[in-house]
Every structure is written in structure tokens, then in C-alpha cells.
Amino acid sequence: MTLDSLLSDEALRQQEFPVIKDSLFLAHAGVTILPHRVTRTMQDYLEQCSLRMQEYPEAWRAVNETRVVAARLIGAKASEIALIGPTSVGLSLVANGLPWQPGDEVVCYLDDYPANVYPWTDLERHGVVLKLLKPASPGEITPELVEAALTPKTKLVALASCHFQSGYRIEIDRIGRMLRQRGVLFCLDAIQTVGAFETLVDHVDFLSADSHKWMLGPMSAGIFYVREELQDMLRPSLLGSWNVRSPNFIAQEEIAFERGGRRYEPGALNISGILGMKAGIDLILEFGLPAISAQLLKLKARLHAGLQPLGFTFLGPDPHNSVNASCITTVQHPTRSLEDIAKHLTANNIITSLRHNRAGQPLIRFSPHFYNTEAEMDRVAQVIREVA
């Protein structure tokens, strides 16, 4: 199956994504709906668990295969992937596992999603100094802005691959190359790009991403990447029988961690969620990220074209900015009530996200995925025109 064949066959589209029978779901940047194949995979596993132990051999093989496909998605090695979620767990493992010294500096952004803020602000109690970025507009974090914040004491830069409100995608590779040359660690909250746009870890040291957005997977199943050369440096801060070597489940006098991604998985895995995540990743790899990304930018451009004549203003980059634009489209309006518009959209089975900025101003965020169509984007503008 190709993306073109999916979009040109309405029966197939409804089969793979049953939500479209009743709703227009445009909130994938929040918590995604699940494709049919994802729920079927999870249901099949759960059915087996009523007949066999939950850790039956075929399930374990699928877990290990998940490391492989997840690594393929971000350009990593399977041994660099831990299967944990949510995103904040991976980010907290980085914050709590590095050997910090008083005076070490972390560069981050206060208006990122809170999961990528609190693990770093909490380090202040250990004497770590925060250097907060102040971009010209929300999420517009450029390589030049990051470089200007660096000092000889900078130990780590912690950024989101894409801002959750403005949809601004950072230039991961340019920033990563610059940090690698300076010996500065780079940690990425990649939940808003993995599965939607190329998110490669060639010059990234740590990455965390739950599957419940663009990977089309369930909540609390995610991937945590640690560059192989840094796994001895990043000490696991969650310890248990799975990641600490315990022959025959007998605790040892000394702690010795397992090798690879397992060293960050302290106990029983969320196998149902992991297998659902794998089904979502398999679907993304089947269509291919280039085709998915192109479709997402096409949908964004169509949505812009429909909403701009209605007086909406947009956060983030222009849809034709293929370097920084994502499929997140967040709008404001100078005179109309966004709360009323959001309610009207919901009443018409168009699901969006009502958000607010730091000043408390309301925002509507639209985030379609690749299975959505340009005709559906036109419907959004049509329904909004009906609001008094």
C-alpha cells in the first residue's frame, strides 16, 4: 500500500482509519486516534494473554523487533533504543543520570512543553545554571540563537524538535553538528516530529518520544535513544530487576547494568503498548517519511488558504517553508471568539485542540495527519463560516 493508494480509495481509508466515518480528527499533536491495524495488533496480543502468559515468546520477539524498526525510523542502532514512555521519563532519565557539577549550564526554552522544561529547571537545586532561550517568536529556535547562548560551561542543550504551539521545526542536524564540534551534549524532545518529519540522530545524543502523537501509537509507549558512546556516562536513575544484572532474579552485592537500551528499562515492559507502537511505526515506514511529510505540508498549505480570508492570524512558519514548517497550524483571531469557534467545530465533529499562550490568550491548533485530505481541510473553513 502506498500513500497515494490510500488517499484515492475511500473504502481503504475508512478501513485503515475508522475515525473518518464519523469525525474529522485534527488533533494528532495532542493524543492521536489509533489506526485499525494498531488496535487490532493490541487486541490480538491481549487475546493471547487470556490463553498464555503475557510474556509469551512471539511477543518477546516482537518487542525486540520494535527496537529495530524504531531505530530505523530515527537512524539509530537497535542497541541504542529503550522502550519506555512517556516522553518525560526519557528526558528525566537524562536530567537525573548525567554527572552534574555546580556551575554546569543547560540551555533550554521556558515556553517549550512542560515535559521538556521541568526536568531541566529542577537541576537548579544541584547548582546547575539554566540559560533560557528567548526567540523572536514562539519556538523559533535557530542555530544562531543556540550558538549565542553557549559558554565554556555549557554541558547540555535541551530542545524540542518542533514547538507544540507554533509548529516551528528546528534544524536538528545544523544545531547538532555545531554542538558536537563544541563538545556540548544535545537532548531532543522529538515527540512532535517522529513519524511526521525526518528526525535523525546523527548529531543527537539523547532523544525521547512517546508514540501517542505522530507515530500513531498508544499512550505511554515510546522510544528513548541514548548514543552508544554515552551509555556508560548516563547512569540509569530507575533501577530494577530488568536493567540491573540479577542472575536467576537474585540481587547481587554490586550493581552492574545490562548493555544497550535495556539498561534504562527497570522492570516489566508495556508489551501491549509497545506492539501497538510497532504497528504504527510499521505503517509509517510502509508509506515512507518523504511522502508523509509532503502530504502534511500540502494539508497545511490548504488549511492556510482556507483560513486566511476569514481573518485568522497564524503562529509559526509559512507552510511553504519546508525547512521549519510542520503540520501544526495554530491560529488566533483579532475579533472573533476562538472558544465559540472551537465549540462549533466540535459540534460538527471536527476535533481540534483549544490551547492558550503564556498571556492566557486562546489559540486553536489544527494538526491533521497524512491520511487526512485537502477536501477535509476545505471543510474546516466552510464550517467556521457558519459561526455567527
Per-residue pLDDT reduced to its tens digit, 228-276: 999 999 999 999 999 999 999 999 999 999 999 999 999 999 999 999 9
CATH 1.20.1250.20 fits 40-285, yes or no: no
State the pTM of this model: 0.97
Q: Which residues contact residue 215 at a Cβ distance below 8 angstroms, ignoring those fewer than 6 apart?
A: 32, 194, 195, 209, 277, 280, 281, 284
Which residue stretches of the chain are H helix? 3-8, 10-16, 36-49, 57-74, 87-97, 118-121, 143-149, 172-182, 271-287, 289-307, 338-347, 374-385
Distance CA 120, CA 117 (A): 6
The matching CATH number, chosen from 3.90.1150.10, 3.10.180.10, 3.30.70.260, 1.20.1250.20, for 3-26+288-385 is: 3.90.1150.10
Distance CA 298, CA 334 (A): 26
Confirm if 32 and 213 have CB atoms less than 8 A apart: yes
Grid coordinates in use for 220?
A: 505511554
Give me the pLDDT at residue 388, please. 57
Torsion angles phi and psi, residue 362, rounded to 5: -75, 150
Q: Which residues contact residue 50 at a Cβ distance below 8 angstroms, ignoring those fewer than 6 apart?
A: none
Confirm if 150 and 133 have CB atoms less than 8 A apart: no
For residue 292, the one-letter residue type is I
CATH 3.40.640.10 domain residues, the chain: 40-285
CATH 3.90.1150.10 domain residues, the chain: 3-26+288-385
Low-confidence ranges of the chain (pLDDT < 70): 388
Distance CA 300, CA 302 (A): 5
For residue 226, the one-letter residue type is V
End-to-end Cα separation, the chain, in angstroms:
43
